[in-house]
Amino acid sequence: MIPSGADLVLGRIVDNQAITVLGNNNTVVRTITVPVNRRWWFCQGFVYNADNVARAITVFVYNAATSQIGILLPSTSLAAAGMLSYIDTVAGISNPAPALLPLKAGDYISITFTAGGVSAGGNGSSSCVVIEVAV
């Protein structure tokens, strides 16, 4: 039998999935931070635009000092009701993901949804799938 907490030594999959409320003609930023005493190995993420207009989506990686250290998805137009998986698709072009992207405690992934005009809003969603280990 594996002792309690052993999954953090061996690694566990965390999807970090959440609803993102998109309002009328606004910008919404979702921040997903690596917890204290944890290390993440980023695998991939997903974004869903529930709005009735296209939104520009960006996904950047920052360190704890708020310095940008990576781009997982440059500004990409996502159609109304559109879905995309990042890091394997950038503007419709196949883009192989790195084997695993290591992130330390305090690093974070920032997902930005920017509307291009008047919109109905809606409940979009996003995820950031990682392998989490204790350190």
Domain that holds residue 109: 25-134
Q: What is the rounded CA–CA span in Å between residue 110 and residue 36?
A: 18
Residue 128 inside a domain? The answer is yes
Residue % of the chain over a pLDDT of 70:
84
Residue 16 inside a domain? The answer is no
Q: Pick out the chain residues at pLDDT < 70.
A: 1-9, 88-99
pTM (global) more than 0.75: yes
**50 near 123, Cβ under 8 Å?**
yes
CB atoms within 10 A of CB 76: 18
> Which residue blocks in the chain are alpha helix, DSSP H?
6-10
User: Total structural domains in the chain?
Assistant: 1
CATH number at residue 101: 2.60.120
Residue 58 inside a domain? The answer is yes
Residue 53 inside a domain? The answer is yes
Residue 51 inside a domain? The answer is yes
Residue 13 inside a domain? The answer is no
Strands 27-33 and 68-78: unpaired
Residue 126 inside a domain? The answer is yes
Q: Which residues contact 57 (CB under 8 A, 6 or more apart)?
A: 47, 49, 73, 75, 76, 77, 78, 84, 111, 112, 113, 114
